[in-house]
Structure 1
Amino acid sequence: MDLGISGKVALVTGGSAGIGLGAARSLAREGCDVCVCARNPERLADAVVELQEFGKVVHAVLADLEDPDAARRVVEETRDVLGPVDILVANGGGPVGGRFDEVGLDDWDVAVQRNLLSVVRLARAVLPDMRSRGWGRIITITSSSVREAINGLLLSNAVRPAVAGLVRTLAREVGGEGVLVNNVMPGPIDTDRLRGRYTSEEALNGRISGVPVGRVGLPEEVGDVVAFLASERASFVNGISMLVDGGESRVIA
């Protein structure tokens, strides 16, 4: 299936590893020129080498999106090097784990900056170009915690749904201008974060036991969903939050 996005410019934040790199890989495979941004220079350099294997133009920006000025700078640099952003994949590391009594107010501040306000700033930075051209895709990466609270992940349970609310509302505001806004909710995906939470094979197998397909997902499997939502084939999909969790969630609606 031709997704119709060859030649588009994609910006993927948190794109040096895990789900972000999986999304960047899927978009590059579909012919997009890709800018990835992240905080770790070594991982960022490795990601560029890997993505260049698809034969497209790849650019990297070292940035920490907790910095209020970073989103604007990343979008401007992408525009200067590759052109205006057609596809934004707003992805970032999840908040620290912990129960209510275990997370401090500083942790709340970091979670809101990293996982909510960074998305707001990125959207504000890319929307003028998207609106002027009458085409754009904004795709946020959150978590299955948007749909179903996860024990021990209070901050994710609290902040991620705010992003889903932003997506649903923004989609209604800009959909008529050719800009589609959607959210992806990964479940257990094989990333450093997941393996950091389940440090033994026994614990990880216990986590997998609740997944009907019998395994954790791969970053590329989330990436392929992102690529579809970015595509012309998804031109009537707007404002949704899509689970990619192997059927783990028991919530019906």
Structure 2
Amino acid sequence: MSPNHEANRNGKPVAVVVGATSKWQSDGRNTLLAHGRTLDDSDLPVGMRWSVGGAIAQKFAQEGFFVVLTTRQEANAAALAEAIREQGGECMTVELDLVSQDSIAAAFARIRREAGDPHVLVYNAGYLEGRDLPPEKELLEHIPVELFDTAQHIASRGPFLIAKEVLPAMRKRGEGSFFFSNNNKSLRGTKRKTGESLYYPRVTMRALAQVLTEEYSEHGVHVANVVIDGLIDSPGVRALPQAQRNPDSLINPVKIAEAFYYLHTQDRSCWTHELQLTPFPNKPSH
């Protein structure tokens, strides 16, 4: 932990994880869509049970941060919060809906009031919109505008609004970390021919990271875009046929979390502004 960190009222620096719970588990819709049933995650190690967001939250809590878990419904993060406390960490859960500017403003007003200004913000929100479209409706011309609106809110408008909430305090403090959890759609189109029109806003997220790097690095704020280039081991993914055929292709979310913490602890004389994580059997995306 940097000696320059100012502690919050709980005596610890604050790390906020936006999207702390797995999109497979958040409301069960994506799991039912992909598998037709709920899945038991009790066989997964606790560090992996809530995918990337949960692993990052646990890692920063273990490193002495007061962690704020944001989720659409507080109940979604109840088990994760309990796990963090059982590990000796401290956390709170805040409801936040990325499609609502009022919800974002209210969430961060509460975070500042009850925890303090964030020292670390990890934007880990994801979406699987459009996956329930039949194959013959995957072309852009068939995609409902409301599905695009959701994708745009999560990948572009949401991080813009959250940056406005946390970057002023980081700039005034002269330090902070603002990290994006992105995927390979931000680097290229896709290997599939159709069905990916809703994912091009991820390119906007990457561009925002580049812009914020230019604007805020000189103020001591470390901005980085982390490209997670592969399937992440979690309940919804582990049960997929392609994951069962090639389990070595799955990325361990605990190791992803370690990469995020590594970025946060980098010396400012040698910051990484984009990091791509790819499992060894796969060819990296470009």
TM-score, normalised to structure 2's length?
Answer: 0.76
| Paired residues of 1:26 and 1:224 also in contact (CA < 8 A) | yes
| Paired residues of 2:130 and 2:147 also in contact (CA < 8 A) | no
Task: Report the secondary structure of 1:96's partner residue.
Answer: coil
| Paired residues of 1:33 and 1:57 also in contact (CA < 8 A) | yes
Structure number with larger C-alpha Rg: 2
Kindly, what percent of the aligned residue pairs are identical?
22
| Structure 1 stretch displaced more, 162-171 or 219-228 | 219-228
Q: Could you say if the C-alpha distance between residues 79 and 28 of structure 1 is closer, same or farther in structure 2, counting changes exceeding 3 Å?
A: same
Paired residue for 2:102, among 43, 48, 69?
69
2:255 is aligned to 221
Shift of the alpha carbon at 1:230?
Answer: 1.8
1:126 aligns with 2:166: yes
Task: Report the secondary structure of 1:58's partner residue.
Answer: strand
Paired residue for 1:140, among 175, 180, 185?
180
2:209 is aligned to 167
Paired residue for 1:94, among 121, 124, 127?
127
Task: Report the secondary structure of 1:49's partner residue.
Answer: helix
1:46 aligns with 2:79: yes
Task: Report the secondary structure of 1:170's partner residue.
Answer: helix
Question: Which digits, 9 at most, give the CA deviation of each residue in 1:8-61, with x for residues without a partner?
Answer: 210101113321111111111111110001123333111111112343321111
1:15 is aligned to 20
Amino acid aligned to 2:91: V
Counterparts of 2:278 and 2:236, CA distance in 1: 16
Counterparts of 1:192 and 1:235, CA distance in 2: 39
| Paired residues of 2:184 and 2:285 also in contact (CA < 8 A) | no
2:220 is aligned to 178
In structure 2, stretches of 5+ residues that fail to align are 22-49, 132-137
Counterparts of 1:233 and 1:100, CA distance in 2: 45
2:40 is aligned to none
Shift of the alpha carbon at 1:233?
Answer: 4.2
1:113 is aligned to 153
| Paired residues of 2:232 and 2:251 also in contact (CA < 8 A) | yes
RMSD, matched Cα: 2.4
In structure 1, stretches of 5+ residues that fail to align are none
Task: Report the secondary structure of 2:111's partner residue.
Answer: helix
Task: Report the secondary structure of 2:270's partner residue.
Answer: coil
Q: Could you say if the C-alpha distance between residues 149 and 225 of structure 1 is closer, same or farther in structure 2, counting changes exceeding 3 Å?
A: same
Counterparts of 1:81 and 1:65, CA distance in 2: 20
Paired residue for 1:243, among 276, 280, 284?
276
| Paired residues of 1:37 and 1:61 also in contact (CA < 8 A) | yes
TM-score, normalised to structure 1's length?
Answer: 0.85
Counterparts of 2:249 and 2:167, CA distance in 1: 38
Q: Could you say if the C-alpha distance between residues 30 and 170 of structure 1 is closer, same or farther in structure 2, counting changes exceeding 3 Å?
A: same
Task: Report the secondary structure of 2:231's partner residue.
Answer: coil
Counterparts of 1:12 and 1:75, CA distance in 2: 12
Q: How many residues align?
A: 241
1:149 is aligned to 189
Counterparts of 2:146 and 2:59, CA distance in 1: 35
Task: Report the secondary structure of 2:250's partner residue.
Answer: coil
Counterparts of 1:53 and 1:156, CA distance in 2: 39
